Amino acid sequence: MVIGTIKLKIFAPWVHSLKEKRMVVKSLCARIKNKFNVSIAEVEDQDIHQSIVLGVACVTTDNAHADQILDKVIRFIEANTEGEIIHLERENLY
């Protein structure tokens, strides 16, 4: 069993309130959960309106498959948000 995780920080300059940020995060998390069958949540900076920090995890049978899933999630985020990924941490646990 392999657990693949990423933590990514997105800079969202167009967000001007926490309410607007919550709507963006909620929508993005729901789309990613439904499309990739992964666990995702906002894990840090909940009170900073232009910073979105998401944690994503998947469970699979091998390392390559975990990397493939997480790569697709990253590409999806890049394609579906106006924000810029400014930090990314990746880890696979066995």
* 58-87 per-position pLDDT tens digit: 999 989 999 999 999 999 999 988 888 999
Which secondary-structure segment (H or E) carries 56? Answer: strand 51-60
Q: In total, how many domains does the chain have?
A: 1
12, 52 contact by CB (below 8 A): yes
Model confidence band, residue 94 (pLDDT cutoffs 50, 70, 90): confident
Other CB atoms within a 10 A radius of the CB of residue 15 amount to: 22
CA distance 59 to 80: 24
Q: What CATH number should be reported for the domain holding residue 86?
A: 3.30.70.1120
CA distance 6 to 63: 14
Residue range of the domain that includes 48: 2-93
82, 21 contact by CB (below 8 A): no
